[in-house]
Each structure stands twice: as C-alpha cells, then as structure tokens.
Amino acid sequence: MPIQKVEENICNAVGTEESVSAHPIVLVKLKSEGREVLTYAMLNACSTRLFVLSDITAMLKVNGMETRLMVKTIDSAKLHNSKVLNGLVVTDLNGDHPVQLLKTFTKEHLSMPKNILTHDLAH
C-alpha cells in the first residue's frame, strides 16, 4: 500500500493570512503595599508556578529573597536567577475581587508567542 500524503493544517483567524494563537490574557491590577500597576496576566493551565516580570516588581518597589529556579518546559530545563515574592495581590480593573498570590517568582523575560490574538484580529 503506498504512503499517503501527510497534510499540515493551521487554524487561521477569519480574514488573515497568518496563524494566531488564542491565549487567555487578561488586564489586571497588581498590588503591593499601597502601590499598584496595571498589567496583563496570562492564565497558563500548564504552569505550576506564578511569575512576574522583574521590571514590574521594580515599579511596585517590591524586593524578594534571591533564589535559583529550575524552569522546565517540554523540550528543555534551564536554571534562572530569580527572587521569591510574597504578599502580591491581583484584582480586576476596578480593584475588586482581590486574590492574594502565593509564592511568586521574578523573571527577566516571559516567553510569549508573537501572534497572540488581539482585539483587532478578533473583529
């Protein structure tokens, strides 16, 4: 029996020529000791830890304990310098529905696809 042709398909947004990824990203307020920053939160069901960018913690003037963190992904494992933060609170845009974040780690960079679905692409 001959080998059949294998086809690769990509789900495209209507009216575009490139693929997009639909990640659950929400606009939130991140708070610590009277300071707050408006930022985006990416809800990642595959992650077992909370991460925040180092520049955001600098805006909040939060300083945690230095640590080394092993970050494992599907194809690699890397050791990162990080800080452990406690006491951060995330709320909705109105400052309602506060959630006290458990142990949170800093990272210099968070990998995110460049083709995230935006409001412009959705409509």
Contacts for 98-102: CB closer than 8 Å, 24+ residues apart: 98/31, 101/50, 102/50
- pLDDT at 43 (0 to 100): 80
Q: pLDDT digits over 94-105, tens only?
A: 999 999 998 999
How many CB atoms sit inside 10 A of residue 9's CB?
6
- Nearby residues of 61 by Cβ (< 8 Å), 6 or more positions away: 32, 33, 35
- Written as one letter, the residue type at 20 is V
On the question of pLDDT at 107 being above 60, the answer is yes
Query: What are the structure tokens assigned to 69, written together?
Result: 């963190």
Of the pLDDT bands very low, low, confident and very high (cuts 50, 70, 90), residue 11 is: very low
pTM given for the model: 0.68
Phi, psi of 105 (to 5 degrees): -110, 145
Higher pLDDT, 113 or 83: 83
- pLDDT at 114 (0 to 100): 60
- pLDDT at 6 (0 to 100): 45
On the question of pLDDT at 123 being above 60, the answer is no
Higher pLDDT, 1 or 75: 75
Do 32 and 45 contact (CB within 8 A), yes or no? Answer: no
